[in-house]
Amino acid sequence: MKILISAYACEPSQGSEPGVGWNFVQEMSKYYQIWVLTSNCHRSAIEAELARKPPSNLNFIYLDPFGWMIDWSQKGKSTQRWVYLHYYLWQITAYFVSRKLHQKICFDIVHHVTYVKYNSPSFLCLLPIPFIWGPVGGGELTPKNFWTSLNFRSKIYELLRNAACLIGECDPFVHLTARRSILALATTEDTAKRLRYLGAKNIQVYSQLGISQEELMNYPEVSLSYQSIIRFISVGRLLHWKGFHLGLLAFAKANISNSEYWVVGEGSERKNLENLTQELGIEKQVKFWGSLSRDQTLSKIRDSHILVHPSLHDSGGLVCLEAMSLGLPVICLNLGGPALQVTEATGFKIVANTPEQAVKDITQAMICLVADVKLRSKMGEVGKKRVRDVFSWELKGLFFAQSYKEICVQEKLASFS
């Protein structure tokens, strides 16, 4: 079969959306002939990897609207300000490019993979072939009771984000994308509800995240039992909705001797978080590492004992899988993507009723894991097994390869009837 994949973000050796795009197309090229539409900003990294490890069945088409390319190595505010306009125009450009390609190649299926954004259309749904959408996310919202813990600026952000979701849902092309999808995958049940509202008929909840077996094999086995200092770690952009302030509040309440809290990432909330550590009197125990490469980040996770990821609305949460694959138990809120990755056997999923209750329960989870080394070790081992058995890219590739096959069989039967 010949498959056309839309992967606006697609780059090797990256996490987040570019990593999703790259790993996905790599896996699918093991089964079928793959053509990938992506942005020129990823071209140099992709071509360097292809030169190092030439693939079979994988072809890239680089495009950008009006020759306008956004440099993703520059992650400043100016980039973020224009990203969604660029993405929307890129989708339109991708349709016209793919229409000409389809006339030459005759694709069997078209699949939109990245961005993982439910409230923006994919114009590739207009091609006269089966269209698969997703997994897409973004339908997760900050619980209303948690708005009281946010400052004025953060509340404005949440209002604008909610408004953007509503505006996106008013776009007739978003409804068209949902209705024309033969299969729509949602990262969480929250997003699945929005897809039903938009008119998608065949919906499955399926995580967009994974870790390859090759990467898992390259993770060194590390034992931290000899270390006298217990290390908690949080990883991600330092934004209010990541909930790192909840983790720091809980860490201060736990008051665990010989313990540290590492924070890896950069963002607009860093100054507020640093001020919070001073107010709580824990500034000597908390280390802000700033923005690190993926390898450096994984190294910091390896040197820690417990991941704290109290995100308020997260479609994915790759760091939870990375921590589990390295044998760390995870403390997260029972919200969004992390709630689907973490189980009671691999960590603590904190019910998100109020900020006060969440902090109290995170505190208790911290104390419990520090006191019970065997529980910590057992959760770590079960977590590693869960990543291998459920979230490996190889299994995801098999899932989609089978889905493609079934869809093509259904289309052929429908054409005969």
Model pLDDT for residues 154-211, shown as the tens digit of each residue? 999 999 999 999 999 999 999 999 999 999 999 999 999 999 999 999 999 999 999 9
Looking at the fold, whether 250 and 184 belong to one and the same domain comes out as no
Looking at the fold, whether 371 and 399 belong to one and the same domain comes out as no
What's residue 220's pLDDT?
Answer: 56
Instruction: Give the domain range for residue 237.
Output: 225-390
Calpha distance 156→146 (Å, rounded): 14
Residue 219, domain member (yes or no)? no
pLDDT band at 74 (very low <50, low <70, confident <90, very high): low
Residue 217, domain member (yes or no)? no
Looking at the fold, whether 327 and 229 belong to one and the same domain comes out as yes
Residue 400, domain member (yes or no)? yes
59 forms beta bridges with 35
Q: Where on the phi/psi map is residue 116: left (φ > 0), alpha (ψ -120 to 50), or beta?
A: beta
- pLDDT, mean of residues 50-74: 86
131 forms beta bridges with 110, 181
What's residue 90's pLDDT?
Answer: 97
What is the tally of structural domains in the chain?
Answer: 2
Residue 215, domain member (yes or no)? no
Residue 325, domain member (yes or no)? yes
> Is the pLDDT assigned to residue 342 strictly greater than 80?
yes
Looking at the fold, whether 342 and 411 belong to one and the same domain comes out as no
pTM of the model: 0.92
Domain CATH for 286 = 3.40.50.2000
Residue 220, domain member (yes or no)? no
Looking at the fold, whether 266 and 290 belong to one and the same domain comes out as yes
Residue 135, domain member (yes or no)? yes
Looking at the fold, whether 404 and 340 belong to one and the same domain comes out as no
Q: How many CB atoms neighbour CB 282 within 10 A?
A: 18
Calpha distance 18→107 (Å, rounded): 24
What's residue 398's pLDDT?
Answer: 96
Looking at the fold, whether 380 and 400 belong to one and the same domain comes out as no
Q: Which residues contact 154 (CB under 8 A, 6 or more apart)?
A: 240, 241
pLDDT band at 294 (very low <50, low <70, confident <90, very high): confident
Query: Could you give the maximum distance between any two Cα atoms of the chain, in Å?
Result: 72
For tokens 């069945």, the residue is 57
Q: Do 9 and 39 form a contact (C-beta atoms < 8 A)?
A: yes
Calpha distance 216→209 (Å, rounded): 14
Looking at the fold, whether 382 and 339 belong to one and the same domain comes out as yes
Looking at the fold, whether 132 and 234 belong to one and the same domain comes out as no
Q: Phi/psi at 213 (nearest 5 deg)?
A: -60, -35
Looking at the fold, whether 148 and 198 belong to one and the same domain comes out as yes
Looking at the fold, whether 202 and 232 belong to one and the same domain comes out as no
Tokens for 340, please give them: 């689907």
Looking at the fold, whether 276 and 192 belong to one and the same domain comes out as no
Residue 409, domain member (yes or no)? yes
pLDDT tens by residue, 386-413: 999 999 999 999 999 999 999 999 887 8
Distance of CA 179 to the CA centre of its chain: 25
